[in-house]
Structure 1
Amino acid sequence: MKKTFLSVLAVAALSLHVRAQETFPRNGVYDERTGLRAFTNATIFVDYQTKLENATLVIKDGKVVAVGTKVSVPQGAMVTDLKGKTVYPGFVDPFTSYGMPALPERTRSFNSPPQAESKKEGAYNWNQAIKPETNAVELFKVDAKAAAELRKQGFGAVLAVNPDGIARGTASLIALADKRENQVILLDKAAAALSLDKGSSTQEYPNSLMGSIALLRQTYLDAQWNAKNQDKEQNISLKAFTEANRLPQIFEVSNKLNAVRADKVGDEFGYQYIFKGQGDEYQMLPQIKATKGAYILNVNFPDAYNVEDPYDARRIGIEEMKHWEMAPANPALLAKEGVTIAFTTADLKDKSKFLPNLRKATLYGLSEKDALKALTYTPAQLLKADKYVGSLREGMQANFVVASGNLFDATTVLLENWVQGRGYKISETPADFRGVYTLKVGSQPERRMLITGTPEKPELKVVATDTIKGSLSLSGELLTMAFAPAKGGKESIRLTGWYSGKGFQGEAQLPDAQTVKWTALLSEAATQQAKRDTARSRSNEALGLGQLMYPFAAFGRTELPKAEAVLIRNATVWTNEKEGKLQNADVLLKNGKIAQVGKNLSASGAQVIDGTGKHVTPGIIDEHSHIALDGVNEGTQAVTAEVRMADVVNHEQVNIYRQLAGGVTTSQLLHGSANPIGGQSAIIKLRWGQAPEKLMFEGADPFIKFALGENVKHSNRSPQYNVRFPQTRMGVEQVMVDAFQRAKDYQKAWISYNKLSKSAKAKTPAPRRDLELETLVEILNDKRFITCHSYVQSEINMLMKVADQMDFRVNTFTHILEGYKVADKMKARNIGASTFSDWWAYKMEVKDAIPYNAAILHNVGVTTAINSDDAEMARRLNQEAAKTMKYGGVSEEDALKMVTLNPAKLLHLEDRVGSLKAGKDADVVIWNENPLSIYARPEKTFVDGIAYFDVEQDQKLQEEQEKERLRLINKMLAAKARGEKTQTYAPSRRFGQQVLHCEDVETGTEENYLESEYHQK
């Protein structure tokens, strides 16, 4: 790259003109220096892919003036010879809280009453978690200590994000120079920041992850409406939100699932997010790649667990062990898939671990080119700041790092970090004394002395007959050492000395206090070998990685099972059709469907299973479940119809696998019972190992959860919660009437608008879209169906009357332990029942429960199912169904239908599942004996013709995972033996792995604890 001296002067003149614009007066003499400097004879990376040898870099007034191999040094420039040194563009961290104020503490205590409305005064958004009017540039203050800490890791510029709220406002790009705030701000509004965590908001809503997602979706809609209706409502927050949407959008997520969830919101509204992840993205590579987003990755790799105690080791989940091993490979695996990555120091309590961990990532497969790109070019490009930082080209910020060698070599140190043309010294070039020496101490026999490790942290070994570890300390060229004369000895030889060109010399004190001379002569050939051995031992960390599991949890498989043709022969087949129970019959599964049911079937190429003595049934269907969810209640407002359980399905929850082992193939995942009108349901098939979107039951009708009784009126909550309307059963009725009246008015407004001509629509603003009311309109139009939590006769009657009054239909009463009192009324309205077999006495409103309830409902002609509402009970729903035979004399076949065909009917899925009929989905269970026996055990559970549970494969899977655990334990023990830091395992109650019930209420959108006083069952 050639640059004339005249062009250099022209740039310098421009720089002087710019500096003349400074607005701050000074108390004293003005000392304006141009900072004209030339750095010569260096290896310079102009950018991540342009490397120049013996090059020169010229800077002036904080900017790059010239860079190249043929650049002339300007007259008057201060010249620094960097021969043997390497210059890199200053690193850019695209996600920090640098210069931001500490987050305000939540002022509400556990005993504070719930806060329904925002306490922020002014024309702002209704919800405190939505604060896009926040601008980091207005909060920013230079933090010299934090800047120095970041500069030591090579960073010259960072994005300052105020990490508070769901819509967090704008973030600023800041140079890490020790100057005034107005001098270091490179871009005042470089990006907009988002998350699913409501942060410091003390407002009750949202208290769940699904609530956060719903709130963000509604905010996008409100901002669109507000932009066209400024005459109706002025909203500072929504206006700022619209303006911020023009910037790069950085979305902080707490795990890989939330990245996928957030991406769906972005896709819905036409925004491509940049995700700040948590380092577990590799666990869902196909889905992460499909988001098409760039990922800002931390390098907060976990320490090995201390597994010396076998009891402690048993407590650690295999997924946690595997994450320790595989986390350093996350950047490489993403880069290999073509995912754009950048690096951040975020989440590192100790920022000094950044470079060592980054280098570790290169040992685990990340190329040095990709690593440098992720440090420089990519973050600059993502922030649309690549004309300022990320490279060393003419006119750009003079942000660069001087290193002693290759950045990714463990022996390399950062010497200086230049930010806006100002140099900051980081460290001296360490002397490298590693090598093999001949040690002579007084008249003692010669020994071999090895100095290994790194130049910064050398390690001492002395070899006589045995290898003895010693202590070593270096200060410049001065050295002190100590080692025992023999292995296991308690006394030591202590030495002090200095480097003499060919080794060390000095004085030693022997164990008997005698002082003698000593020397250590360097063996050059052995020294080079020692350095190579040191490097080789580090690279061995990258070897022996285990395989990914699907899902990344206990009982995950390295390969997903595949569909194949299966012929089950000579079994007792419970068809649930008019054919009834067939003896010595066959079932053929093909292409995910039931191909034939009958006798003496044949199929070429099919796997044949001998069903002699076994029973074959349709898969069990659980109409009321809360498994596989990251949260169950948005328990804040009385009506939360806008939240969706599908948004928080967690495919890694082990209860999916456990329930397959109980013969369950389909579950309706319901919102809890914290509000009269709750959230939208998700119906899933238990396809263990598939991603959340692949669990969804394709084409299923949409449902929603309603609730009555003690829970919705807060009967069993602490006194401070006795403020939310409704507090009585009468109030529940009024909430529902009011909600549906508003929905009717909402529907009328849209009908009127849609009837307008095209020209009239252009002059008339459309009604505001309301996700809550849209859902209720779906109910009015028979496009969404109600499952209602219920117990007491009076309330069941009330809701049926409200439905008659407001012209909607209740599809199912669930729980309905007093259903036997109103069975005739339910039959008349074609309302189904999904009940417990024999639960009672767990709260006052179930005092009239009887175990004959299901049988009475069934005998009256009500479609009746038995549900679980419990992760453990769902594994034995066959036994729960069998209880109806004892209590009420229900027949075997009708009892089985209560957990198969009847729930299928309640879910409008009877044409797909619930019975064994040609053309239906191949959701089939093979039992070792009569499925209604307490001794019955599923041997194979098929979903869509795929054996997602097989009792024999389960045994092999457990054995394989025990071997994998042992391999990982041994690897952790070896890591500890090498001196690596370890951590003591502490159970974390992983978000989404807790067992949830109707009444459980989370107290934070990303937190793992429940409100125990509200956990009744």
Structure 2
Amino acid sequence: MRIRFFVLVTFLCGVSLSAQDYFPKNDGVKAENNNYTAFINAKIFITPTKILDKGTLLIKKGKVVLAGKTVTVPKNSVIIDLQGKFIYPSFIDIYSDFGVNKPNKAPSGGRSAQYEPSREGFYWNDHIMPENNAISKFKYDNKKAKELREAGFGTVNTHIQDGIARGSGALVTLNDTGNDSDRILADKSAQYFSLTKSVAKRQAYPSSLMGTLALLRQMYFDADWYAHGNIATKDLSLEALNANKGLVQIFEAKDKDNVLRADKIGDKFNINYTILAGGNEFENVAGIEATNATLIVPINFPDPYDVSDPYLAEYISLEDMRFWNQAPTNPKVLEENNITFGLTLHDQKSTSSFRNNLLKAIDHGLSKTKALEALTTVPAQILGKSNLIGSLQNGSQANFLISSGDIFDKETVLYENWVQGQQHIINNKELKDIRGNYNLAAGNKTYQLSITGELDKPKAELKEGVQKLTSKINYEDNWVTLSFNNKEGNMVFRLTGMTTSNSDNISGKVLLPDGSESTFNATRTTAFIGKEKDGVNEKPIVVPITFPNIGYGYSDQPKQESILFKNATVWTSEEAGILEHTDVLVKNGKIAKIGKDLKGGGATIVDCKGKHLTAGIIDEHTHIAALAINESGQNSSAEVKMEDVVNPEHIGIYRDLAGGVTSAQLLHGSANPIGGQSAILKLKWGASADGMIYDNSPKFIKFALGENVKQSNWNSYSRFPQTRMGVEQTFINYFQRAKEYDIKKKSGQPFRFDEEMETLAEIINGERFISCHSYVQSEINMLMKVAEKFNFKVNTFTHILEGYKVADKMVEHGVGASTFSDWWAYKYEVNDAIPYNAAIMQSQGITVAINSDDAEMSRRLNQEAAKTVKYGGMTELEAWKMVTINPAKLLHIDDRVGSIKEGKDADIVLWSNNPLSVYAKAEKTMIDGAVYFDLEKDKQQREAIKKEKALLINLMLKEKDKGSPTQEPKKKNQEQLHCDSL
């Protein structure tokens, strides 16, 4: 059925792009252009799934009027025949900083404010800037716009990429011929957030990822409090945050685990973030899928490493080699798991590299339909602008690409990018493709000419017989200039000719070396066949991922097993003591039975003759498996949570399992008197961060005393306290405030929810336990007195190397101790430490544990416990309790772990020898009845890692041979974090 044009045409057309329709026209003679432009005989992608063969696209005044198979073209139309060519909607970059520069970096030096903001009338934290509007700092950049159009983009969503709450963005078209009133489709397109502080602000807080997450939570609580009229003063930041709630909320995560962290904040405050991903989501796609979040995905795939030097190649970790190999599969994996995503140029090395990476993603399995959706309809849908951009539906902006063929074919040439109906030429579409093989007759000789390369930038290879001649070619406006040397290299032939649309040949004039002129004719024998079309492309080899996706990760996450350990020496850590020739049955993740001659009932039987079975070691004080340790920007950081920054890929987890450790308390550092909330973990290698955290975990917080908190170790003078007296006053001040907060909360009066005060109130109410970094007796006494003043008890003094001096007072207070076995004299305040400390405190009735506070020591805690036998005459069983049941008691998890007892979690270790011996090896380490470390499997993994690295090195060498750019080998050192790590 033919479609006729009536009044509908006028209705669908927008206002003129040359000026606002109400502007006076009194400067010379002006007339509106009311003509149509009709593109006929093209393959048109109205949407990625709605495609027309030999269709017509009709536009007028920057808008699409109609796209169809049978369109009656109005008489006042400019007709452009696109026979054999393709039309696509122009791409949209939803995450850009186009036309908006980052603020200048704040000068270094001087004091950084702990609290004081640099602005009046705004939020207390300088890194929260929702009042910023990109449009106020926007300046159209013609040069960058040209780059983006050449990459296929017609619209960008730009914002100020600085700060934690960044303000609103602007949606801009890349139309050079218009002005900002034409280009700007939305001056408030979205509201932006990130996990990165402002470079222009000097406020110290937050200084860590966990501090940033806590600040975001408190910001939302405060915004709600403000919205209900509970704050008398003006806060322009919170007003802007609340005013922009109706916009799309975009969160910069840039990492698979940060995607989950951002989603948690969104869930807490009922916000559906669109999240900028990191490109590594394939490593935890199940967790990503569970968020139901829409992602914005970069495709800045890494270059292969230059591994030609075998010694330098040893620097590269298997993790980094794998990421190079696997990263291009990320879009495909997201597609396979039905995760909605758009693609972005963000973090590309250059705009021109985007196309190569996009084609690489398609080579690795991303469908072309999904790729086009991710660049057109999905970004438009995210922004709520599907009626304007992302498709060629009637009434949408006339933003479209004209190409020689499939836009995702490597050999396809992009001719034009029309933006708001304005033509922007990228390559001359009338340019004929001269690539192919020719017989060239010139100067009474015949040569073999091969023309390859890009359509508008061809490369020539010329041979006379079998000898290759030096040659150079240029091609412009269908004119060919070619020069080449003779065999001897001492004479130059210069050719100038033209190709015509109705011939495959090139002919023209040749200037011979002797100065005479003649003619030449190049007759095409075969057409050019690109690499993608000649069948030589190999399917990429991609190594499988593991859990976690680093060396020693598992191909499948460990599962619970039924195992009967027969004839073991069982160290129960209970009153039963050490049992000889005893069986232990593990079933459904629990210790089911303990006894002699047990029947397995189908369980796998492990012969333990000559071996020892114990409960898993528990490290009461560790800093492994964390992305950050200290939030040092304030003297109290009670609001931050170590659970927010658990790093499930830390190799220390695997090493601890190899040392028989199954549980650990991940503690905040000692940079401030009141630190952050702890995370109590089961070291489930391969699980997610949340999967490692104890269910119904007891609540703990880290406090600290001594040199670190008064900052004498790093010469900082910008934060209170600076003395030990100031530390005491800090505690008193904060607990008094928490007490008043709690009284108001319990009274039923309206109150501002304060995460920091909530945490401290939990301590006062006996709902949260303190583990306190401590050394000298005066401060140990001080904190106990402060606690008693506010009617609570300190749960654990950790380190406590002068505990032997105040053991009687500790017993009276009811506090436990977690200490080092034999550390002393490593700083001034431990000069009085003695290795008999643990035994002396134990003898006075204190529950004593041996902790590590050190990644290296943590995997040898069995040997640290053994030292108490020498230093204090402890029995072997009592020594062993110091790393099993005693830390379990201190952590209030002794009803679940810490000993071998029927009904407890099957967190157990099979040792090759007496566990206190330096010769003992952990042969199997189980958590909840699943084997997370196996000595024999470890040996197999070492060999598998060697083979996999060899494979990946060979693949990188092949890439280099193909001419791929490479990067220098880099050694990836995983920083070992300690109490004082900032």
Q: TM-score range by the shorter chain?
A: over 0.9
SS of the residue 1:536 aligns to: coil
Q: Tell me if structure 1 keeps the 8 A contact 2:642–2:679.
A: yes
Q: Tell me if structure 2 keeps the 8 A contact 1:642–1:679.
A: yes
Q: Tell me how far apart the structure 2 counterparts of residues 453 and 166 of structure 1 sit (CA, whole Å).
A: 46
> Which residue pairs with 2:885 in the alignment?
901
> Which residue pairs with 1:37 in the alignment?
37
1:826-863 CA-to-partner distances (Å, cap 9, x unmatched) read: 11222100001111112111111111111111111100
> Which residue pairs with 2:605 in the alignment?
608
Pairing 1:678–2:679 present: no
Q: Provide closer, same or farther for how the CA distance between residues 100 and 13 of structure 1 changes in structure 2, counting only shifts above 3 A.
A: closer
| Offset of residue 931 of structure 1 | 1.1
Q: Tell me if structure 2 keeps the 8 A contact 1:551–1:557.
A: yes
Q: Tell me how far apart the structure 1 counterparts of residues 469 and 679 of structure 2 sit (CA, whole Å).
A: 61
Q: Provide closer, same or farther for how the CA distance between residues 62 and 414 of structure 1 changes in structure 2, counting only shifts above 3 A.
A: same
For structure 1, the 5+ residue unaligned runs are 755-765, 1002-1017
| Offset of residue 543 of structure 1 | 2.5
Pairing 1:559–2:556 present: yes
Q: Mapping of 1:459-498 within 5 angstroms?
A: 473-476=473-476, 477-478=479-480, 480=482, 498=497
> Which residue pairs with 1:788 in the alignment?
772
Q: Tell me how far apart the structure 2 counterparts of residues 259 and 362 of structure 1 sit (CA, whole Å).
A: 24
For structure 2, the 5+ residue unaligned runs are none
> Which residue pairs with 1:143 in the alignment?
141
Q: Tell me if structure 2 keeps the 8 A contact 1:435–1:531.
A: no
Q: Tell me how far apart the structure 1 counterparts of residues 62 and 189 of structure 2 sit (CA, whole Å).
A: 21
Q: Mapping of 1:279-290 within 5 angstroms?
A: 279-290=279-290
Amino acid at match of 1:598: G
Q: Provide closer, same or farther for how the CA distance between residues 104 and 855 of structure 1 changes in structure 2, counting only shifts above 3 A.
A: same
> Which residue pairs with 1:640 in the alignment?
637
Q: Tell me if structure 1 keeps the 8 A contact 2:13–2:395.
A: no
Q: Tell me how far apart the structure 2 counterparts of residues 282 and 747 of structure 1 sit (CA, whole Å).
A: 45
1:101-155 CA-to-partner distances (Å, cap 9, x unmatched) read: 3322122x1x422212344332100001100011112221211111111111111
Q: Provide closer, same or farther for how the CA distance between residues 893 and 856 of structure 1 changes in structure 2, counting only shifts above 3 A.
A: same
SS of the residue 1:250 aligns to: strand
> Which residue pairs with 1:297 in the alignment?
297
Q: Tell me how far apart the structure 2 counterparts of residues 929 and 946 of structure 1 sit (CA, whole Å).
A: 22
Q: Tell me how far apart the structure 1 counterparts of residues 675 and 465 of structure 2 sit (CA, whole Å).
A: 76
> Which residue pairs with 1:432 in the alignment?
433
| Greater mean alpha carbon deviation, residues 643-652 or residues 293-302 | 293-302
Q: Provide closer, same or farther for how the CA distance between residues 291 and 953 of structure 1 changes in structure 2, counting only shifts above 3 A.
A: same
Q: Tell me how far apart the structure 2 counterparts of residues 133 and 337 of structure 1 sit (CA, whole Å).
A: 37
Amino acid at match of 1:169: G
Pairing 1:744–2:739 present: yes
Q: Tell me how far apart the structure 2 counterparts of residues 45 and 849 of structure 1 sit (CA, whole Å).
A: 76
Q: Mapping of 1:922-941 within 5 angstroms?
A: 922-941=906-925
Q: Provide closer, same or farther for how the CA distance between residues 22 and 837 of structure 1 changes in structure 2, counting only shifts above 3 A.
A: farther
Q: Tell me if structure 2 keeps the 8 A contact 1:491–1:511.
A: no
Q: Tell me how far apart the structure 2 counterparts of residues 777 and 730 of structure 1 sit (CA, whole Å).
A: 23
1:647-700 CA-to-partner distances (Å, cap 9, x unmatched) read: 011111111111111111101000000111110000111110111111111122
Q: Tell me how far apart the structure 2 counterparts of residues 785 and 645 of structure 1 sit (CA, whole Å).
A: 15
> Which residue pairs with 1:997 in the alignment?
978
Q: Tell me how far apart the structure 2 counterparts of residues 419 and 739 of structure 1 sit (CA, whole Å).
A: 59
1:954-1004 CA-to-partner distances (Å, cap 9, x unmatched) read: 111111121111111101100111111111123455xxx421000011xxx
| Offset of residue 513 of structure 1 | 14
Pairing 1:694–2:659 present: no
TM-score, scaled relative to structure 2: 0.94
Pairing 1:871–2:873 present: no
Q: Mapping of 1:248-397 within 5 angstroms?
A: 248-397=248-397
Amino acid at match of 1:695: M
Q: Mapping of 1:130-209 within 5 angstroms?
A: 130-178=128-176, 179-200=178-199, 201-209=201-209
Q: Tell me how far apart the structure 1 counterparts of residues 643 and 146 of structure 2 sit (CA, whole Å).
A: 45
The one of 764, 773, 789 equivalent to 2:757 is 773
Q: Tell me if structure 2 keeps the 8 A contact 1:12–1:60.
A: no
> Which residue pairs with 1:68 in the alignment?
68
> Which residue pairs with 1:1009 in the alignment?
none
Q: Tell me how far apart the structure 2 counterparts of residues 306 and 509 of structure 1 sit (CA, whole Å).
A: 45
Q: Tell me if structure 2 keeps the 8 A contact 1:67–1:392.
A: yes
SS of the residue 2:796 aligns to: strand
Q: Tell me how far apart the structure 1 counterparts of residues 188 and 264 of structure 2 sit (CA, whole Å).
A: 25
> Which residue pairs with 1:716 in the alignment?
713
| Greater mean alpha carbon deviation, residues 463-472 or residues 194-203 | 463-472
Q: Mapping of 1:443-454 within 5 angstroms?
A: 450-452=450-452, 454=454
Q: How many residues align?
A: 974
Q: Tell me if structure 2 keeps the 8 A contact 1:129–1:198.
A: yes
| Greater mean alpha carbon deviation, residues 452-461 or residues 654-663 | 452-461
Pairing 1:707–2:704 present: yes
> Which residue pairs with 1:858 in the alignment?
842
Q: Tell me if structure 2 keeps the 8 A contact 1:460–1:469.
A: no
> Which residue pairs with 1:406 in the alignment?
406
| Greater mean alpha carbon deviation, residues 62-71 or residues 258-267 | 62-71
| Greater mean alpha carbon deviation, residues 217-226 or residues 165-174 | 165-174
> Which residue pairs with 1:1006 in the alignment?
none
SS of the residue 2:763 aligns to: helix
Q: Tell me if structure 1 keeps the 8 A contact 2:629–2:668.
A: yes
Q: Provide closer, same or farther for how the CA distance between residues 134 and 619 of structure 1 changes in structure 2, counting only shifts above 3 A.
A: same
The one of 625, 629, 649 equivalent to 1:652 is 649
> Which residue pairs with 2:114 in the alignment?
116
Q: Tell me how far apart the structure 2 counterparts of residues 963 and 512 of structure 1 sit (CA, whole Å).
A: 62
SS of the residue 1:150 aligns to: helix
| Greater mean alpha carbon deviation, residues 69-78 or residues 968-977 | 69-78
| Offset of residue 573 of structure 1 | 1.3
Q: Provide closer, same or farther for how the CA distance between residues 28 and 510 of structure 1 changes in structure 2, counting only shifts above 3 A.
A: closer
| Greater mean alpha carbon deviation, residues 609-618 or residues 377-386 | 609-618
Amino acid at match of 1:162: I
Q: Mapping of 1:534-573 within 5 angstroms?
A: 534-538=533-537, 540=538, 542-573=539-570
Q: Provide closer, same or farther for how the CA distance between residues 622 and 970 of structure 1 changes in structure 2, counting only shifts above 3 A.
A: same
| Greater mean alpha carbon deviation, residues 511-520 or residues 188-197 | 511-520
Amino acid at match of 2:720: F
Q: Tell me how far apart the structure 2 counterparts of residues 837 and 515 of structure 1 sit (CA, whole Å).
A: 96
Q: Mapping of 1:4-15 within 5 angstroms?
A: 4-7=4-7, 9-11=9-11, 15=15
Q: Tell me how far apart the structure 1 counterparts of residues 238 and 670 of structure 2 sit (CA, whole Å).
A: 32
| Offset of residue 19 of structure 1 | 5.8
Q: Provide closer, same or farther for how the CA distance between residues 128 and 17 of structure 1 changes in structure 2, counting only shifts above 3 A.
A: closer
> Which residue pairs with 2:790 in the alignment?
806
Q: Provide closer, same or farther for how the CA distance between residues 533 and 797 of structure 1 changes in structure 2, counting only shifts above 3 A.
A: closer
Pairing 1:622–2:624 present: no
| Offset of residue 32 of structure 1 | 3.4
| Offset of residue 928 of structure 1 | 1.4
> Which residue pairs with 1:239 in the alignment?
239
Q: Tell me how far apart the structure 2 counterparts of residues 467 and 771 of structure 1 sit (CA, whole Å).
A: 79
Amino acid at match of 1:868: S
1:708-735 CA-to-partner distances (Å, cap 9, x unmatched) read: 11111111122xx223111111111111
Q: Provide closer, same or farther for how the CA distance between residues 422 and 514 of structure 1 changes in structure 2, counting only shifts above 3 A.
A: closer
Q: Tell me how far apart the structure 1 counterparts of residues 360 and 257 of structure 2 sit (CA, whole Å).
A: 25
Q: Tell me how far apart the structure 1 counterparts of residues 759 and 727 of structure 2 sit (CA, whole Å).
A: 19
SS of the residue 1:405 aligns to: coil
| Offset of residue 25 of structure 1 | 7.7
Q: Tell me if structure 2 keeps the 8 A contact 1:411–1:456.
A: no
SS of the residue 1:189 aligns to: coil
Q: Percent identity?
A: 47
Pairing 1:817–2:801 present: yes
Amino acid at match of 1:773: M
| Offset of residue 586 of structure 1 | 1.8
> Which residue pairs with 1:1011 in the alignment?
none
TM-score, scaled relative to structure 1: 0.91
